[in-house]
Structure 1
Amino acid sequence: MIKEIIVVEGRDDVTAVKQAVEAEVIAVHGFGITGETIRRIQKAGRERGVIVLTDPDHAGETIRRRIEALCPGVRHAYIMREEGTRKGDIGVENANPESIRRALATAHASTCEAREEFTTRDLMAHGLMGRADSKKRREALGKKLGVGYGSASTLLSRLNNYGISREEFERVAGTLSGDQ
């Protein structure tokens, strides 16, 4: 059983997570997070820890940021867009159990202290920005590091705020095809 409480968006996400792992799951039901749900998440954060697993879309990112503001120190798990897309619908509920287990296994905690370990130079050096295939390379890197897909600025923020080490970044970035 996973120690932390997993926070997802809706009841179909709860079903998908419970098919993948044994865990306690809280659904926030989209943007309408109630006071009772907030108190449950905060209590879970204090007692067991929280992993946020929201949809890989704008709404999911907005909900993720709101939960993090309400419960600092949460860990973040990401499924990739292609893992959560079925018939044009994007969501955790569409991901297969292996994708959910991978996302949870690679969950990262936000750090409280601002860090600027990585810069745009690092992204440029590994073709993660400024190249025709940069988006595809960021997707591959995000999946391997477990930080999800994001624009160059989102990726920089996650690299700096999720405690990714220089060694881990260089090792994973060096495995991207066509790296120079």
Structure 2
Amino acid sequence: MKPKIKEIIVVEGRDDITAVKAAVDAEVVAVHGFSVGKNIEKIKAAYERKGIVVLTDPDFAGLKIRDYIQKRFPKAKHAYINRIEGTKNGDIGVENANPEAIIKALNKARCELTEIKEIFKPEILLEYRLTGYPDSKTLREKLGKKLGLGYSNGKQLLSKLNRYGITMEEFQEAMKDINN
């Protein structure tokens, strides 16, 4: 039996709808890539009716679409699949993720906080080798996967840790798991 999601899931295209519906029982709407502006009323209706979870591709276009939606709907939840789970034959997208990866991403969906507390500072990323070291990129990928934040460069990671209300305990536990 597939998990039921109460919010409406916002994806980029038709193939993403198919992949998400194979994983969960949910209403899913597509923004059709950069045509997101033309579909803003459909997203607004979903947001007001049930709330939305944004699940875009783990690439540059997906990030731009996610940012566009976030600016207009600040209480939207965000779910991330990582690049590895979303890649098949060199193609990156939600449609390439298996049902387990989609379910995991949706279970870790988070809202952006309206009042951001700056718990995480650049020094902490250095201390945990998340910036400034040859293996920093790999560590950030693992942390993004563990916390459900997707891939980020150092600056983006710092922003996500603070915006999504990650606690120091969550962060330290995730880093402990990664380093073991």
Whether the TM-score (by the shorter chain) exceeds 0.5 is yes
Distance in 1 between the 2:144 and 2:71 partners?
23
Match of 2:25 in 1: 22
Distance in 2 between the 1:65 and 1:81 partners?
18
* Preserved contact between residue 109 and residue 162 of structure 1 (Cα < 8 Å): yes
Q: CA deviation at 1:88?
A: 0.8
TM-score by length of 1: 0.95
Given the alignment of the two structures, is residue 157 of structure 1 paired with residue 159 of structure 2, yes or no?
yes
* Preserved contact between residue 86 and residue 94 of structure 1 (Cα < 8 Å): yes
Distance in 2 between the 1:44 and 1:73 partners?
12
- Find 1:46's aligned residue among 48, 51, 56: 48
Deviation by residue 1:90-131 (Cα, 9 ceiling, x = unmatched): 000000000000000001111111321101111111111111
Match of 1:135 in 2: 137
Listed as ranges, the gaps of 5+ residues in structure 2 are: none
Q: Which moved more, 1:109-118 or 1:5-14?
A: 109-118
Listed as ranges, the gaps of 5+ residues in structure 1 are: none
Q: CA deviation at 1:34?
A: 4.7
Deviation by residue 1:53-106 (Cα, 9 ceiling, x = unmatched): 000000000000001112121111000001011111100000000000000000
Identity of aligned residues (%): 54
Distance in 1 between the 2:169 and 2:74 partners?
26
Q: What is the RMSD computed on CA atoms of the aligned residues? A: 1.1
Distance in 2 between the 1:152 and 1:46 partners?
34
Q: How many residues align?
A: 177
**1:34/1:119 CA distance change after superposition, 3 Å:** closer
Q: CA deviation at 1:176?
A: 2.0
Match of 2:112 in 1: 110
TM-score by length of 2: 0.95
* Preserved contact between residue 78 and residue 107 of structure 1 (Cα < 8 Å): yes
- Find 1:145's aligned residue among 127, 138, 147: 147
Q: CA deviation at 1:46?
A: 2.0
- Find 1:31's aligned residue among 31, 34, 37: 34
* Preserved contact between residue 126 and residue 174 of structure 1 (Cα < 8 Å): no
